[in-house]
Amino acid sequence: MIAQRVGVTALRRGPAGLFAQLPRAAALQTRPVTTSKISQEDGHQILVNQRLQRPVSPNLGIYKIEQTWLGHSAWTRITGCTLSGAAYLYFTAYLGAPLLGWHLETASLVSSFAALPFAVKGGIKFMLGFPFAYHFINGLRHLWFDLGKGFAKPSIKKGEMALWTSSILGGLFLAFGL
């Protein structure tokens, strides 16, 4: 409390230019407050009418369609949910396999996967490798954004191209080992 008073006193005694910027009238303006008593139902009706005038949040009319339907934040969530959903589905099937008479042991999965044609094997591996690579690389990109860097429009465009290119190359590498 005393330190606050000392600081305010110092500001008052400071250089004249400190408070000379504000006109005296602006510092002393007051606005009369008027209140009126209304019933609770009327107050509720006022709030309902105000809510009807508000835009839906978020107001989708302000976004450009090409920026929203391919939003990288959304696709990071989608690829994460796809990968974790596939893992949960497999692990649940693996746990239920003995009860249902399925053979999901490693040896039977490897032999059945080896019997598939090369293009089908590559497609299955790419369908798992691409979302993994995309999710991983875009996660790194989001960490870069969390540092407050890369928000300029040209760097976002370059980052998007680098993200797609590296994700496709990463998926191909995981699928075919090129």
Is there a contact between 103 and 97 (Cβ–Cβ < 8 Å)?
A: yes
Fill in the amino acid letter for 32.
P
The full set of domains in the chain, from first to last, is 68-176 (1.20.1300.10)
Q: What are 143's two structure tokens?
A: 């960490």
pTM (global) more than 0.85: no
Please report, as a single letter, which amino acid is at residue 105: E
In the numeric block, the tokens 């790419």 are attached to: 126
Q: 103: which residues sit within 8 A by CB, 6+ positions away? A: 97
138-176 residue pLDDT tens: 999 989 888 988 888 888 888 889 999 999 999 999 999
Q: Model confidence over 53-74: pLDDT tens digits?
A: 877 666 666 666 655 556 788 8
Given a cut of 60, whether residue 20 has pLDDT beyond it is: no
Q: How far apart are CA 56 and CA 70, in angstroms?
A: 21
Task: State the Cα–Cα distance between residues 17 and 14, nearest whole angstrom.
Answer: 8
Task: Match 């005694």 to its residue by tokens.
Answer: 13
